A and B are shown apart, each in its own frame.
Chain A
Amino acid sequence: MRRYNIFYFFQQAFKGLWRNGLMSLAAITVLLSCLVLMGSFSLLVYNVNVNIEEVAQLNEIVVIAELDATDEQIAALSEEIAALDNIKEVKYISEEEGLESERFRYGEYSYLVDDIFENQENILPDVFKITYEDNSRVANLVYQLGQLDHVSKVNNRTDIANDIENIKSGVSFIFVWFLAILFVISIFIIINTIKLGVESRNREISAMRYIGATNFFMMTPFIIEGIIIGLISAGLAYLLQTILYNAIFNAMSNDYKMISVTPLSEVQTYLILGFIVIGVIAGILGSAISLRKYMKV
């Protein structure tokens, strides 16, 4: 069986790109814009999630032990808390440490604390400050803590945890839809670009058909053309994204230290891979769809 020369297909694809220069440029520009938008949005969502996680980590549950609990009972309670699921860290604050903390809080008026609590015992309860692993399972943890012996009260901010979870789900939902819409727009643009290229060569394609060209032979250069458009767009999008992101990163690092921005080096592999995959898929799909009606027998 005769084999086609792969170099011929690449040569035709590059010729096609060159011949339809303006349209190729338009397709690359639009795909590049879509990729940068996708990239920017992905990075934004990623950073929002990172910051949300950080806020979530500030959340802690405060378990207040009964005032009359003995040291042995407190020790047992500490072990029981540590053994629970979803516990990240347990910090024990004794009565003395609690008083110290109060003195610190009152600063120059700390003598008031001493005046109030002077000569009194068991004024402040022992306290456990707990951080947890998973926001979504906080309610369960709070319930388990409340069931333990010698626990007087469990203070927590489940409402904040729930809000954070809701924000994360909402952001992810918008993210997926936004990406999908941008992807469809990219494909639509490529379809039209390749279609113009195919239409301008319709006479040629019809002559090829009469000569006995297979659909594979006719389609391959156009598909390669789509892949090249995708790759060029991905490369340029990555460059542009890097410039944009680094500029934002530098600005945010200097001015808004409260917000943490992930350095690009941490996500660049995913970013370039994402651009290449999306660019190439958009290129192939765009070419294939636009060629469909021309590939009749």
Chain B
Amino acid sequence: MFLMKKIIKHYLFFIIAAIASIIIFILNAELGRRAFETTVYSLQEMLIVIPPIFVLLGLLDVWVPKETMVKFMGENSGIKGIILAIIAGSVAAGPLYGAFPVSAVFLKKGASLRNVFIFIGAWSTTKIPMFLFEYPGLGPRFAVTRLLVDIPGIIIIGFVLAACMKERDRKLINEKIMESTEK
């Protein structure tokens, strides 16, 4: 019974979303079918793209010592940390939600919050795979301009976001990170 409750609590968001899509299907079969198709498509995408990301983060977790992470991406890593964060975020393939578990390992190992926010920014927007679709699709002027605006943009957002995080917020993030990696 306790286990059942725990599972339901764990999967509550999924259960609600699934019930909602069933209701949509009952009300409008065409809309429901489209929702189902997209869901299947995204599920395939997740199953294909996500596994190597998690393998890499698992290996990162066991092999990279804390001191190394602190040195390269910690509070006092300076420009080096920023550049590394941008490169790490830009080369990976995968949807935005894949960036968060990786961020958790970075933070746990001692990367600064600022660099992790920059990493998320890079993952979301300066990704090289994306650029390769954007360049032919929307033209060089569009793609290059966006990249040139985005790089300073994600750095500034990283700095401002980190500055907004009070001691209490940082503590909360730490707790959440530990929960997600240790449990």
Our verdict on whether A and B bind, yes or no, reads no
